[in-house]
Amino acid sequence: MSEAAIPVEPAVVSSRPPAAARARVPGRGLAWLALLVALLAAAAAGWGIWQQQQLQARSTLQAQLDALHEQVSGLDGRGRLLQDRLANFAPVAELAAQQQLLTQLQGDQQALNQRVSRVLGASRQSWRLAEAEHLLRLASLRLVALQDINSALVLVQGVNEILREQDDPDAFAAREQVAKLLQSLRSVEQPDRSGLFLQLAALREQVPGLQPLAPVFTSSGEVFASAAAEGDGSNRLAQWRERLSRYFRIQLDASQDVRPLLAGEQLDQVRLALSLALEQAQWAALNADAKVYPVALRQAAAILQATFQQDNAQARALLASIEQLASQPVSISVPDLQPALAALQAYIARRLQAEEQPAAAAPGEQP
């Protein structure tokens, strides 16, 4: 028999659960209940946490909204302020006109600055030329009044330096005359007036010490006469003659003049006259007076020769010094500064005329 022909009985399944399964049903319910309670508790906790986070987020968002509101309010105030300022501004056309006026004003200011610079430069050079003329006049005064070659040379060198700074070909004539004047001044030797003054002062200090020498006569014949007169009656007469010869004596073959002895007021008067003559020579040396200086020294020499003996060493030395000083020059022939001054004045006049011509044409120029 084949398998298809064997009938199969259907299995009978009972719908009742077994006793063991029925016994486990209450425990599983409690577990599910506990699980459900736990889930509910977790959900409640999560809900609380979520509510707290929502509250914090809302507070933070509210704070941010308040800050943004304040910023918006500040921006609104600034916008209104800017609008007010923009309302106060001039229109665009007026701004363009003002800009054009400002540009024109800047151009006028630049032109004015250039003119002022040109005028100041010309004025500065004019001042320097006026200074050169003043220096040249001062040098002329020093030469004429004091004959001071060294000071005049320094002043004229300053004039030459000012003309060199001008760097103007038109100043050639003035510089030529100044160069000639410098060469003339360098060729003149400056007298030592201060040295002459001091030497005369030293001679004046020696005047109070001048003393006259008494004349001494020596005669060999008197010695023999007195020796022969010893032992006879004429001894007393020879003694009287010897004594009287000390006061006066007649000598026909005297080799030099016998000066009278000075004493008291006469000697003081001679010293005063000699001192005054030397003082006058000092004044003449300082003032370059070539007429008074030799006359005063000749007067001093005449006083010495008339009142003191030739063998007086003090008077002889003083006389030799006076004669030596009398040969020293106190005056010089100063060069003429008039050509240089005339050339400088002519150059200054031409310079001023050249500066006035552009000044007259300036008002007609366009800025």
Cα 181–Cα 149–Cα 332 angle in degrees, nearest 5: 95
pLDDT at 59: 85
Q: Tell me if residue 271 falls in helix, strand or coil.
A: helix
Looking at per-residue confidence, does 213 or 340 come out higher?
340
Q: Where are the alpha helices (DSSP H) in 207-249?
A: 220-228, 235-244
Instruction: Quick: pLDDT tens for 286-318.
Output: 888 889 999 999 999 998 888 877 777 888 889
Q: Give the chain's length.
A: 367
Dist. CA 97–CA 185, nearest whole Å: 69
User: Mean of the per-residue pLDDT values for the chain?
Assistant: 77
Q: Are 284 and 330 in contact (CB under 8 A)?
A: yes
pTM (global) more than 0.85 = no
Amino acid letter at 188?
V
Q: State mean pLDDT over 140-164.
A: 90
Render pLDDT for 270-280 as a digit per residue (tens, 0 to 9): 889 999 999 99
Determine the pLDDT at residue 88. 73
Helix (H), strand (E) at residue 151: helix 149-166
Ramachandran quadrant class, 288 (left: phi over 0; alpha: psi -120 to 50; beta: rest): left
Give the pLDDT confidence of 60-84 residue by residue, as tens digits: 888 888 888 888 888 888 888 888 7
pLDDT band for position 177 (50/70/90)? very high
Residue type at 46 in one-letter notation: G
Domain ranges of the chain: 125-189+334-364, 191-212+262-331, 214-250
